[in-house]
């Protein structure tokens, strides 16, 4: 992994921001020019939501990749997180402004429709994380910054659940997202060290 990590070290963080931001104007361009089909509103909403989930998965993969494969993406984790929030916000904005349109309907949907309630909860959990994604907050909050940012775990589960709940019929794709996210969270549990301890107890 060392040579890969060396190459990664040379990539500037702003490059990741730039690369990650590109799909947004591209999708908007496609939506306006018919590239997203004859119903661009739902298509745009879906594409943005799916991108957010993919970025969320990438962000959750940083720690296990380093711990289990020695691949170091730590330097880019904040950029991945901030981009995740940007796409979740664009997804929400598309829903509010282009899809539902009616303010009275928006609140009714949030309260009445469980999949929207769940999605909204995921967004609200991400909000303090986005606000504190800067050096000043990291310094200021100290050890509680880490604790605060564990909110991404429930947010990720809710985000995946949101996708599962809105599917019609029995669909595989949303379940794959949920399984990957749950898998990445399970990898964080101190299972390997538990096993080591059990083995030690056995041999004792």
Partner 1 sequence: GVGLTAMSRPAAAQDALEPNTWEEITSYNNYYEFGTGKEDPARYAGSLITEPWSVKIDGMVDRPGDYDFQDILSEMTVEERIYRFRCVEAWSMVIPWNGFELADLLSMAGVQEGAKYVAFETAYRPEEMPGVRFPILEWPYREGLRLDEAMNPLTIMATGIYDRPIPNQNGAPLRLVVPWKYGFKSIKSIVRITLTEDEPPTSWNMSNPREYGFYSNVNPNVDHPRWSQGSERLIGGGLFSKREPTLMYNGYEKEVSSLYEGMDLAKNY
Closest approach of Cβ 103 to partner 1, in Å?
13
Window 44 to 73, contacts with partner 1 (CB under 8 A): 44
Using rule CB under 8 A, residue 170 touches partner 1: yes
Closest approach of Cβ 11 to partner 1, in Å?
34
Closest residue by Cα to residue 75 from 14, 130, 24: 14
User: What is each CA distance from 173 to 9, 53, 154, 166, in whole angstroms?
Assistant: 34, 12, 20, 12
Closest approach of Cβ 112 to partner 1, in Å?
8
Among 6, 134, 144, 171, which residue interacts with partner 1 (rule: CB under 8 A)? 171
Q: At 70, list the tokens.
A: 């020695």
Closest approach of Cβ 58 to partner 1, in Å?
23
Using rule CB under 8 A, residue 15 touches partner 1: no
Using rule CB under 8 A, residue 74 touches partner 1: no
- Report the distance separating Cα 135 and Cα 196, nearest Å: 36
Using rule CB under 8 A, residue 24 touches partner 1: no
- Cβ neighbours, 10 Å, residue 202: 7
* Contact yes or no for 51/25 (Cβ under 8 A): no
Among 10, 14, 25, 38, which residue interacts with partner 1 (rule: CB under 8 A)? 38
* Contact yes or no for 163/174 (Cβ under 8 A): yes
């Amino acid at each position: 992994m060392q040579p890969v990590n060396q190459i990664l070290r040379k990539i500037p963080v702003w490059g990741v921001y730039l690369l990650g931001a590109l799909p947004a104007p591209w999708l908007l361009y496609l939506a306006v020019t018919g590239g997203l089909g004859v119903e661009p509103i739902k298509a745009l909403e879906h594409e943005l939501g799916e991108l957010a989930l993919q970025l969320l998965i990438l962000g959750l993969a940083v720690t296990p990749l380093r711990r289990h494969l020695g691949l170091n993406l730590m330097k880019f984790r904040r950029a991945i997180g901030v981009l995740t929030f940007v796409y979740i916000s664009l997804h929400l904005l598309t829903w509010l402004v282009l899809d539902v349109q009616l303010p009275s309907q928006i609140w009714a949907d949030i309260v009445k429709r469980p999949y929207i309630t769940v999605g909204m909860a995921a967004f609200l959990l991400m909000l303090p994380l986005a606000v504190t994604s800067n050096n000043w907050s990291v310094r200021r909050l100290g050890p509680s910054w880490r604790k605060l940012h564990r909110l991404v775990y429930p947010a990720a589960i809710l985000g995946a659940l949101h996708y599962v709940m809105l599917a019609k019929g029995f669909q595989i794709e949303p379940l794959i997202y949920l399984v990957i996210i749950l898998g990445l969270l399970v990898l964080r549990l101190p299972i390997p060290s538990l096993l080591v301890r059990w083995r030690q107890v056995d041999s004792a």
